[in-house]
């Protein structure tokens, strides 16, 4: 790590008291995971919490999952570089989630069908082969998508606590956090995830409100807006400005991401499928529109505040993040945690660190559980000639949780892409959700949708990987297309190919292969 950055990171208000607050929280989380372990008796309770989650607990769990530390970090990065113009992403996400909640678009019908996972829907609608292909695409896009979670989350902990003075701190934190989250996800499954999400929601809410209040108090409400105006100009406010960070195509892509983020993304859908009734799902989504907005808007604001702090009150940080030679600039992901480490008092820093570790864990446990159960339920089990025993399913899911954890550690240490984290995530996620949107939308609302069209649409999602920086460089097309343009093209292409494939190769009349084992669709 660059010595100037190390020096900058080491100036934090984090004390032993803050470590104590974090430790108490971590012990309490582990205790909850262990206490609820005894309720796990089958796959429905392990990955669906027995479908007995009430509306308010569902909202808390949804917020806990979707406002992860990775979200906080990549959003702060967007606010740091894009200013208030980044707020359009939060507004788009919230409005689209509200529409889904009011109309029940896709999620209502999915919950009515009582499926446990999205690929299970594929099987009921299009047959077993589509389920397996959908599971493969889902696992591929999803696991790639969470590849940088651990590293970026650990960067926050390192930055806010000032551990960066030790060069090996990042790796140690990555290993420690991963171990912690693996232990209680493996033990408790969705029940422990939902209950710890609730606890995490309490700490997160308090942390979000306190930190925002301190940031405004420290910098001054008007000063924040005035500094952005003077340093960034109108592109710091207007998301459609062509010379800014975003633009019309980016905003359109964000609207689509908002839709798939709440109605297709498996961790959100898993929350819907764990609810006690389809009506509860609609309420859950309508109310979650607030937390879907907050999860982006508050970190954007913190990133903006970090920018204002650096430009107006921290010349040492200005030299680190905005040196004369831009190539020497430090990773701007560190800007927000360094800012918080300097303005928050001891005690509050411990609370916010606990809140962010809570956010980290609630996202990780849900994602680990989601991808591992998809591989078990939707790829491995359907490929078995005999019905896969329940114990084997739970065991395999737990082994896969560990394996994905090891991958996340490895990918975080070795991936060298230069994309903004949010753009990396939207592109990798698009491998799955562009094709899945076409398949689910047509599968739920168009009777003539066929399995051939579904397979083609799912495969076409892989085009989205062309939006990734290292892939563009490898193919010699770097800079020709933005990730947003590739993503928008992919979704249009998936819809067209789903439509054409279904018309040209309709399914033969007769029942689909829906002999899903009872344990997989309780």
Partner 1 sequence: METWAAIWKLTFIVVMAIFTGMSVWVIIGGWQDVKKLLKTLGADDKPSDSEDASNGET
CB of 290 to partner 1, least distance (A): 5
User: Cβ closer to partner 1: 48 or 501?
Assistant: 48
Phi, psi for 53 (deg, rounded to 5): -90, 125
User: Cβ closer to partner 1: 4 or 30?
Assistant: 30
Report how far residue 227's alpha carbon sits from residue 308's, in angstroms, rounded to the nearest whole number: 6
**Residue 225 binds to partner 1 (criterion: CB under 8 A):** yes
Q: Which of 59, 118, 338, 497 binds partner 1 (CB under 8 A)?
A: 59
Beta strands in 202-352 (DSSP E): none
Helix/strand/coil for 275: strand
Q: Which of 46, 122, 301, 360 binds partner 1 (CB under 8 A)?
A: 301
CB of 280 to partner 1, least distance (A): 10
Helix and strand totals (H; E) in the chain:
24, 0
CB of 138 to partner 1, least distance (A): 27
Helix ranges restricted to H, 461-517: 469-475, 483-504
Stretch that binds partner 1, among 142-150, 283-291, 461-469, 494-502 (CB under 8 A): 283-291
Q: Are 106 and 264 within 8 A, CB to CB?
A: yes
User: Cβ closer to partner 1: 204 or 340?
Assistant: 204
Q: Are 284 and 291 within 8 A, CB to CB?
A: no
Residue 332, CA distances (Å) to 67, 196, 377 in order: 20, 31, 40
Q: Which of 21, 22, 43, 49 binds partner 1 (CB under 8 A)?
A: 49
Site string for partner 1, 70-89 (x = CB under 8 A): --------------xx-x--
Site string for partner 1, 190-209 (x = CB under 8 A): -x--xx--x--xx--x--xx
Stretch that binds partner 1, among 47-55, 346-354, 355-363, 373-381 (CB under 8 A): 47-55
Q: Which of 113, 187, 231, 237 binds partner 1 (CB under 8 A)?
A: 237
Taking alpha carbons only, the member of 182, 158, 253, 154 closest to residue 33 is 182
Q: Which of 145, 291, 332, 366 binds partner 1 (CB under 8 A)?
A: 291
**Residue 57 binds to partner 1 (criterion: CB under 8 A):** yes
Report how far residue 514's alpha carbon sits from residue 522's, in angstroms, rounded to the nearest whole number: 14
Q: Are 492 and 460 within 8 A, CB to CB?
A: no
Bridge partner list, 383: none
Stretch that binds partner 1, among 74-82, 228-236, 305-313, 416-424 (CB under 8 A): 228-236
Taking alpha carbons only, the member of 113, 114, 101, 60 closest to residue 282 is 101
**Residue 33 binds to partner 1 (criterion: CB under 8 A):** no
Report how far residue 84's alpha carbon sits from residue 107's, in angstroms, rounded to the nearest whole number: 31
Residue 364, CA distances (Å) to 66, 70, 368, 425 in order: 10, 10, 6, 15
Q: Are 263 and 269 within 8 A, CB to CB?
A: yes
Q: Which of 6, 238, 482, 485 binds partner 1 (CB under 8 A)?
A: 238
**Residue 14 binds to partner 1 (criterion: CB under 8 A):** no
User: Cβ closer to partner 1: 178 or 306?
Assistant: 306
Contacts of 244 by beta carbon, 8 Å cutoff, 6+ apart: 82, 85, 235, 236, 238
**Residue 217 binds to partner 1 (criterion: CB under 8 A):** no
Site string for partner 1, 332-371 (x = CB under 8 A): ----------------------------------------
Q: Are 471 and 465 within 8 A, CB to CB?
A: yes
Site string for partner 1, 87-106 (x = CB under 8 A): x--xx--x------------
CB of 348 to partner 1, least distance (A): 17
Q: Are 484 and 250 within 8 A, CB to CB?
A: yes
User: Cβ closer to partner 1: 158 or 190?
Assistant: 190
Helix/strand/coil for 123: helix
User: Cβ closer to partner 1: 54 or 315?
Assistant: 54
**Residue 4 binds to partner 1 (criterion: CB under 8 A):** no
Stretch that binds partner 1, among 127-135, 147-155, 189-197, 249-257 (CB under 8 A): 189-197
CB of 298 to partner 1, least distance (A): 8
Helix ranges restricted to H, 83-168: 87-103, 107-112, 118-126, 128-145, 149-161
CB atoms within 10 A of CB 426: 25
**Residue 41 binds to partner 1 (criterion: CB under 8 A):** yes
Residue indicated by tokens 């008092």: 345
Residues that bind partner 1 (CB under 8 A): 36, 38-39, 41, 45, 49-50, 52-60, 63, 84-85, 87, 90-91, 94, 191, 194-195, 198, 201-202, 205, 208-209, 212, 225, 229, 233-234, 237-238, 287, 290-291, 293-294, 297-298, 301
């Amino acid at each position: 790590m660059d010595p100037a950055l190390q020096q900058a990171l080491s100036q934090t208000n984090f004390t032993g008291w803050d470590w104590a607050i974090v430790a108490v929280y971590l012990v309490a989380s582990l205790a909850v995971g262990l206490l609820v372990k005894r309720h796990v008796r089958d796959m429905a309770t392990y990955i669906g919490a027995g479908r007995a989650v009430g509306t308010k607990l569902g909202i808390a769990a949804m917020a806990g999952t979707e406002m992860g530390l990775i979200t906080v970090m990549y959003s702060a990065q967007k606010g740091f570089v894009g200013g208030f113009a980044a707020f359009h992403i939060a507004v788009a996400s919230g409005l689209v989630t509200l529409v889904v909640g009011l109309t029940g678009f896709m999620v209502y019908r999915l919950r009515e069908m009582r499926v446990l996972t999205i690929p299970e829907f594929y099987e009921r609608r299009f047959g077993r082969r589509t389920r397996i292909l959908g599971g493969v695409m889902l696992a591929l896009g999803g696991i790639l998508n969470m590849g940088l979670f651990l590293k970026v989350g650990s960067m926050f902990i390192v930055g806010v606590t000032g551990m960066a003075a030790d060069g090996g701190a990042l790796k140690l934190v990555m290993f420690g956090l991963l171990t912690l989250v693996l232990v209680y996800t493996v033990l408790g499954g969705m029940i422990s995830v939902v209950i710890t999400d609730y606890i995490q929601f309490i700490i997160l809410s308090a942390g979000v409100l306190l930190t925002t209040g301190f940031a405004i108090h420290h910098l001054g409400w008007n000063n924040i807006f005035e500094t952005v105006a003077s340093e960034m100009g109108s592109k710091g406010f207007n998301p459609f400005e062509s010379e800014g960070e975003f633009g019309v195509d980016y905003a359109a892509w964000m609207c689509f991401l908002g839709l798939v983020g709440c109605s297709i993304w498996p961790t959100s859908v898993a929350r819907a499928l764990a609810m006690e009734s389809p009506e509860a799902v609609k309420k859950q989504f309508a109310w979650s529109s607030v937390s879907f907005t907050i999860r982006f808007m508050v970190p954007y604001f913190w990133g903006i505040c970090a920018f204002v702090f650096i430009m107006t009150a921290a010349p040492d940080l200005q030299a680190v993040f905005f040196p004369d030679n831009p190539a020497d600039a430090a990773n701007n992901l560190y800007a927000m945690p360094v800012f918080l480490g300097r303005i928050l008092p001891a005690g509050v820093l411990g609370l916010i660190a606990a809140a962010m570790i809570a956010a980290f864990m609630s996202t990780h446990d849900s994602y680990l559980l989601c991808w591992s159960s998809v591989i078990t339920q939707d790829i491995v089990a359907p490929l078995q000639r005999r019905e896969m025993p329940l114990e084997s399913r739970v065991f395999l899911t737990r082994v896969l949780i560990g394996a994905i954890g090891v991958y996340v550690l490895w990918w975080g240490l070795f991936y060298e892409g230069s994309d903004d984290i949010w753009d990396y995530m939207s592109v990798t996620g698009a491998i799955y959700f562009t094709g899945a949107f076409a398949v689910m939308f047509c599968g739920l609302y168009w009777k003539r949708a066929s399995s051939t069209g579904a397979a083609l649409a799912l495969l076409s999602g892989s085009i989205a990987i062309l939006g990734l920086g290292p892939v563009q460089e490898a193919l010699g097309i770097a800079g020709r297309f933005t990730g947003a343009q590739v993503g928008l093209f992919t979704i249009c292409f998936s819809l067209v190919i789903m439509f054409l494939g279904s018309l040209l190769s309709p399914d033969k009349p007769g029942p689909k292969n829906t002999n899903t084992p009872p344990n997989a669709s309780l």
